[in-house]
């Protein structure tokens, strides 16, 4: 797994329209880049609405050859037939997720080298480290880890055979600076160049993904 890891964040897309259609339309444009993974993040949506969106995204991701991940909710990931689930430090532990949903791929968020080492010991399918830069997508962001800590973490993840995702405030310029110290970049805001339309989404996704082209 290498390249862009787009996060389709429902809250940040609300200004494009309240209908779930805007979320799906955004995802369709992102999928043009053929990233390895796509995550739906719906922090303030109800379970029914989130499940509906995941089920709408499932065939789109299948056609594009892109793995679909749910954020936080392994139960909804199973119901929507997602490929995986992403969990944070305050969500269900990876070991529990494996017990209740053994077929799901699992990604884990970490915010320090200590948390990273603990996650790697459980062999997740990928591990995310951040925020690398300042971000407005979280209400209570964790302290910045910065590019130097990302560079320090990368040899450990490579030795463990676990892809490393850089997350938090990554745009195209920053992606170019850190591409040698991670396998993927998780992006929300940089995929939306025009805050009031879907113009430029496909181009932004393709440019970010191309940073990791061999």
State the CATH number of the domain containing residue 103: 3.20.20.70
* pLDDT (mean) for 157-181: 97
Round to whole Å and give the CA distance between 108 and 86. Answer: 6
Residue spans of alpha helices (H) in the chain: 20-30, 47-64, 74-79, 94-100, 113-121, 146-160, 172-178, 201-210
Round to whole Å and give the CA distance between 207 and 202. Answer: 9
Q: Could you tell me which of 44, 107, 110 has the C-alpha nearest to residue 77?
A: 107
Looking at per-residue confidence, does 19 or 129 come out higher?
A: 129
pTM for the whole thing?
Answer: 0.94
Confidence of residue 140 (pLDDT cuts 50, 70, 90): low
pLDDT of 72 reads 94
CB contact at 8 A, 187 and 174? no
pLDDT of 197 reads 81
pLDDT of 12 reads 87
pLDDT of 135 reads 72
pLDDT of 193 reads 74
pLDDT at 211 over 80: yes
Number of domains in the chain: 1
> In the chain, pLDDT over 70 holds for what percent of residues?
94
pLDDT of 204 reads 96
* pLDDT (mean) for 35-44: 96
Query: Among 36-45, 61-70, 162-171, 192-201, which is the least confidently predicted range?
Result: 192-201
* pLDDT (mean) for 77-83: 98
Q: Which residues form the domain of 47? A: 3-210
pLDDT at 68 over 60: yes
pLDDT at 22 over 80: yes
Confidence of residue 19 (pLDDT cuts 50, 70, 90): low
Q: How far is CA 89 from CA 62, 129, 147, 164, in A?
A: 29, 11, 21, 16
């Amino acid at each position: 797994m290498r390249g862009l890891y787009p996060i389709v964040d429902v809250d940040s897309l609300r200004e494009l329209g309240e209908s779930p259609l805007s979320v799906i339309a955004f995802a369709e444009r992102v999928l043009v880049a053929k990233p390895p993974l796509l995550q739906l993040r719906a922090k303030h949506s109800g379970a029914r609405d989130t499940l509906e969106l995941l089920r709408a995204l499932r065939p789109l991701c299948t056609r594009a050859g892109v793995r679909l991940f749910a954020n936080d909710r392994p139960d909804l990931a199973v119901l929507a037939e997602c490929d995986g689930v992403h969990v944070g430090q305050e969500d269900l532990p990876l070991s529990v997720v494996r017990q209740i949903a053994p077929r799901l791929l699992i990604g884990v968020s970490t915010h320090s080298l200590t948390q990273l080492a603990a996650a790697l010991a459980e062999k997740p399918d990928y591990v995310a480290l951040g925020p690398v830069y300042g971000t407005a997508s979280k209400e209570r962001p964790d302290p910045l880890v910065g590019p130097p800590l990302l560079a320090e973490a990368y040899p450990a993840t490579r030795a463990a055979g676990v892809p490393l995702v850089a997350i938090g405030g990554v745009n195209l310029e920053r992606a170019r600076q850190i591409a040698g110290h991670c396998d993927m970049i998780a992006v929300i805001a940089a995929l939306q160049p025009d805050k009031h339309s879907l113009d430029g989404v496909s181009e932004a996704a393709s440019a970010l993904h191309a940073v990791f082209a061999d």
